[in-house]
C-alpha cells in the first residue's frame, strides 16, 4: 500500500509540474536547471580527517600521509583538516561543532577514516570501505555570491531505508602554507624531528615517502615543501555539524526508496559557506558535501558518503 501511495503522490506532483510549465522561465525552473544533468557517481568515496590541526608539529606527517593515501586510491580519497580550537583563522564555533557531533567521541590526534578512528592498518580499512556498495551518492554545484559561496547539493538514495534519518551539509576547505599570513591567520608549524625540517626558510620534508601501490615510486620527496591540505574554514551548519535533516523535506519522512533524488526544484538543498580572512589567502579552496545516516537504536551518526571539488 505504501508503494502504491508513493507512486500516486509522485504522479500527482508530476501533473503539477506539467500544469505550471507556462510560467516565466528562470534559473530555478527545472527545464534550465543544471542540477538536473549533474551526474552522481555511485561509488563509495572516503574522507580522511586529520585531527592534529595545522599548528601541531605532527600535522606535517599527516599531510604526507594524505598524499600517500590519495596516491593509493586515486580519485576516491578526499581530505579534511580540523584546525586547533585556539586558531582564529576560521569561523568561530566550527571546530567545537565538528568535535561534538561529527565524531562518536572526542577524537584523538590522528587520521580518521570518515568520522571513525581507525585502529588497524589504514590501507586495509580503505580497501574494506571502498569496496562497499554505497547507500547514497552526492554531488554539488558551487557559485560565488560575494561574501559567501552558495552550494546546491544533489543527493541520490541507492537502497531502501524505512527507519533511517539522513543529514546533509557542506564545508568550505582551504590549502595553506605553514606560515603566519597576518591578520590572525596563522598556520605556522614547528618541525617534527625526523619528519619535517626548516630548509631555506620553509618547512619541508626531511625524508622520502614511498608509494604504497608501487614502492619503486616516491610520493613525497625530501625537500618538498609542507602544505596544510583542506583546512576546515566555514559552514552554515555550526549548531549541528551533520547539517540538514532530509526527513524534513522528504514527503515520506524517514522512508526512502532506491532512486529517490533530493536537491531539485521540489526539494532544494542550499548551503551558504561564509568567506573568512583565511579563505581569501588560501592557496586553493574546496567544497566538501557530506551525507550522514542515523539508524534507529544507533547513537552514532555515520558518514555514508561525500564529494569534494576544487572551486579556486
Q: Please check whether residue 94 is in contact with residue 238, taking contact to mean a CB–CB distance below 8 angstroms.
A: yes
pTM value is 0.86
pLDDT tens digit string along 198-240? 999 999 999 999 999 999 999 999 999 999 999 988 888 877 8
Mean pLDDT of 84-110: 59
- Residue 100 falls in which region: left (phi positive, over 0), alpha (psi -120 to 50) or beta: alpha
Ranges assigned E (strand) in 148-189 = 148-157, 164-176, 180-182, 185-186
**Distance from C-alpha of 193 to C-alpha of 37, rounded to nearest angstrom:** 50
Query: Which residue, 297, 153, 111, 161, is CA-closest to 237?
Result: 153
User: Which residue in this structure is represented by grid cell 522561465?
Assistant: 25
CA distances from 43 to 35, 70, 224 (A): 19, 16, 32
Q: Please check whether residue 263 is in contact with residue 155, taking contact to mean a CB–CB distance below 8 angstroms.
A: yes
**Distance from C-alpha of 101 to C-alpha of 48, rounded to nearest angstrom:** 17
Mean pLDDT of 100-113: 66
Mean pLDDT of 76-98: 67
Q: Please check whether residue 286 is in contact with residue 173, taking contact to mean a CB–CB distance below 8 angstroms.
A: yes
Amino acid at each position: 500500500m505504501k508503494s502504491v501511495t508513493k507512486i500516486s503522490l509522485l504522479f500527482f506532483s508530476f501533473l503539477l509540474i506539467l500544469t505550471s510549465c507556462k510560467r516565466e522561465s528562470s534559473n530555478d525552473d527545472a527545464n534550465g536547471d543544471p542540477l538536473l544533468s549533474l551526474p552522481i557517481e555511485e561509488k563509495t568515496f572516503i574522507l580522511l580527517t586529520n585531527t592534529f590541526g595545522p599548528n601541531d608539529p605532527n600535522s606535517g606527517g599527516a599531510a604526507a600521509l594524505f598524499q600517500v593515501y590519495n596516491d593509493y586510491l586515486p580519485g576516491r580519497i578526499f581530505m579534511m583538516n580540523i584546525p586547533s580550537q585556539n586558531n582564529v583563522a576560521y569561523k568561530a564555533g566550527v571546530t567545537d561543532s565538528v568535535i561534538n557531533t561529527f565524531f562518536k567521541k572526542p577524537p584523538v590526534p590522528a587520521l580518521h577514516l570518515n568520522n571513525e578512528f581507525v585502529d588497524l592498518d589504514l590501507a586495509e580499512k580503505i580497501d574494506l570501505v571502498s569496496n562497499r556498495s554505497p547507500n547514497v551518492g552526492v554531488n554539488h554545484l558551487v557559485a560565488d555570491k560575494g561574501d559567501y559561496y552558495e552550494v546546491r547539493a544533489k543527493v541520490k538514495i541507492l537502497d531502501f531505508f524505512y527507519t533511517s534519518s539522513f543529514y546533509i551539509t557542506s564545508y568550505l576547505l582551504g590549502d595553506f602554507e605553514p606560515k603566519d599570513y597576518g591578520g590572525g591567520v596563522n598556520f605556522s608549524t614547528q618541525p617534527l624531528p625526523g619528519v619535517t625540517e626548516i630548509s631555506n626558510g620553509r618547512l619541508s620534508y626531511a625524508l622520502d615517502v614511498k608509494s604504497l601501490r608501487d614502492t619503486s615510486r616516491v610520493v613525497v620527496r625530501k625537500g618538498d615543501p609542507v602544505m596544510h591540505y583542506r583546512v576546515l574554514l566555514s559552514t552554515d551548519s555550526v549548531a549541528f555539524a551533520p547539517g540538514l535533516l532530509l526527513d524534513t523535506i522528504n514527503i515520506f519522512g524517514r522512508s526512502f526508496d532506491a532512486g529517490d533524488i533530493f536537491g531539485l526544484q521540489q526539494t532544494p538543498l542550499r548551503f551558504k559557506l561564509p568567506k573568512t580572512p583565511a579563505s581569501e589567502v588560501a592557496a586553493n579552496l574546496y567544497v566538501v558535501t557530506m551525507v550522514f545516516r542515523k539508524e534507529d537504536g544507533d547513537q552514532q551518526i555515520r558518514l555514508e558518503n561525500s564529494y569534494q571539488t576544487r572551486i579556486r
